[in-house]
Amino acid sequence: MASNLQPVRGTRDLLPADCRKFRLIEETARRLSALYGFEEIETPIFEPAALFKRGLGDTSDIVSKEMYVFQDRGGDELVLRPEGTAGVARAFISEGLSQLTPLKLFYRGPMFRYERPQKGRYRQFYQMGVELLGVEKPQADLECLALGYQILKALPFAGDMASSITLHLNTIGDLESRAAFREKLVAYLSTRKSELSQDSLVRLERNPLRILDSKDEGDKRVISEAPTLEASLNDTSKKFFDDVVAGLDVLGLPYKIDPLLVRGLDYYCHTVFEFTTTALGAQNAICSGGRYDNLISDLGGPKTAGVGWAAGVDRLALMMQETPEALPTVAIVPMGDEAEAPALKLCQELRGAGLRVDMAYGGNMGKRMKRADKVGASHAVILGSNELSRGVAQVKVLATGAQSEIVLSTLVSHLTKEMKG
Ligand code: HAM
């Protein structure tokens, strides 16, 4: 029955006010990314399941329990993309983009994860992200971080939300460092198994590094005495991280080194980071990413370094109180039947000149003026038979009530000036 039709759990309708916020966020990111040389790419919303299994890792939360997997009518196993990096890496390989490195790509769009829905966490959510491919040097990490900062600074967050944002930074080192650490960590955790949570016991077998960012109090106690990742870093990994940190200092971008930040996707190496806010409760990560030098080769492509991030547009929108203004509007108010056709023509002319125009579909002058208020019009153009016979219109500024008579042939230029001023 129609009245029982609800959006699927974890999905929601973005109404016009939401869309205005989303568009402002995405356009800000797109415009600023372009300043850094990023160009837009759009990859498919569904991809072969194998892409994410291989790219994100079988043991990651996303692959093991959050993917929307389905078989299409041809029997292929497909997935609604849970994130954007794997798709961009796939496009890099299948479109033969390796000649174009350094390649800087920006993307935005819906992602899908079967997570428990709550404020700021949805099953269909929106990311915008950047990927910088083909640069092994820490400059690439810095460029991505600086861009993240610049976008977050440019967004019109409510109140003191902007000051609630912190950049958390860590290194998980290269493969060699991580293998060494993993061995030490597993040896240590195996001696304290009885104190670990059920989740962590499973992770101990499959993905022990993830235990480091467990929120469980018992786990946290055990972890506080664990060997540190830092102590296992080889010289290359140490130097890489030092260079990233030194670069942030040069740029004057604040950060907090968080030795327990490991991130949930298997493709990372070296730098990992998260911009978090204290304003959204549990879902506090608003932009996260890191370096992934092995992803493209793991997917069968040429060895190509990569670094990037993705920001949660839904979460950024929650931090913005004011809905950005819609375009200023002119309301056309014809008085009497004979003014209807000239009013319609005037709408066409003004819209043709790039102005946003509203005209009620009926009603007397009082009703139409009320509608002008409702649509937030800044000006009303009142057109009666008297005005028409003299080739003029009354233009009323709704905020002040000031009214002036304008010659029809100059109306477009008059309003254009008024509205754009
Ligand atoms: P991620 O940390 O899984 O990383 O997601 C990035 C951002 O997407 C998060 O910081 C959060 O703001 C938002 N997000 C994630 N899940 C949800 C959800 N269920 N509801 C609302 N927002 C959500 C990645 O996806 C990586 N691909 C980022 C990356 C790009 N790393 C390198 N390049």
- pLDDT tens-place string over residues 381-395: 999 999 999 999 999
Ligand 1 neighbour 208 (Cβ under 6 A): no
Q: Provide the 3-class DSSP secondary structure of residue 207.
A: coil
pLDDT band at 244 (very low <50, low <70, confident <90, very high): very high
Position 299 pLDDT exceeds 80: yes
Question: In residues, how long is the chain?
Answer: 421
Ligand 1 neighbour 110 (Cβ under 6 A): no
Using alpha carbons, list the distances in angstroms from residue 186 to 97, 197, 267.
39, 15, 20
Share of the chain above pLDDT 90, in %: 87
Ligand 1 neighbour 115 (Cβ under 6 A): yes
Pick 112 or 418 by higher pLDDT: 112
Q: Which of 83, 85, 131, 210 to probe ligand 1 with, by most ligand atoms within 8 A of CB?
A: 83
* Distance from Cα 125 to the centre of ligand 1, integer Å: 9
Per-residue pLDDT, 2? 55
* Distance from Cα 108 to the centre of ligand 1, integer Å: 12
Decide: 420 and 355 in contact? Cβ < 8 Å: no
Q: Provide the 3-class DSSP secondary structure of residue 353.
A: coil
* Distance from Cα 135 to the centre of ligand 1, integer Å: 22
DSSP result, 359-412 = --SS--HHHHHHHHHHTTEEEEEEE-HHHHHHTEEEEEETTT--EEEEEGGGHH
End-to-end CA distance of the chain: 51
Ligand 1 neighbour 312 (Cβ under 6 A): yes
Which are the contacts of 249, defined by CB distance < 8 A and separation ≥ 6? none
Rounded (10°) angle between helices 138-154 and 16-35: 140
Average pLDDT of the chain to the nearest whole number: 94
Ligand 1 neighbour 275 (Cβ under 6 A): no
Mean pLDDT, residues 177-197: 95
Q: Provide the 3-class DSSP secondary structure of residue 301.
A: coil
Which are the contacts of 266, defined by CB distance < 8 A and separation ≥ 6? 56, 57, 59, 60, 207
Mean pLDDT, residues 142-157: 97
Residue pLDDT, tens place only, 36-95 = 999 999 999 999 999 999 999 888 889 999 999 999 999 999 999 999 999 999 999 999
Ligand 1 neighbour 107 (Cβ under 6 A): no
Report pTM: 0.93
Per-residue pLDDT, 250? 98
* Distance from Cα 148 to the centre of ligand 1, integer Å: 14
Q: Which of 288, 295, 307, 319 to probe ligand 1 with, by most ligand atoms within 8 A of CB?
A: 288
Tally of CB atoms within 10 A around 78: 19
Per-residue pLDDT, 95? 97
Using alpha carbons, list the distances in angstroms from residue 322 to 65, 127, 312, 376.
36, 21, 18, 15
Position 284 pLDDT exceeds 90: yes
Per-residue pLDDT, 323? 72
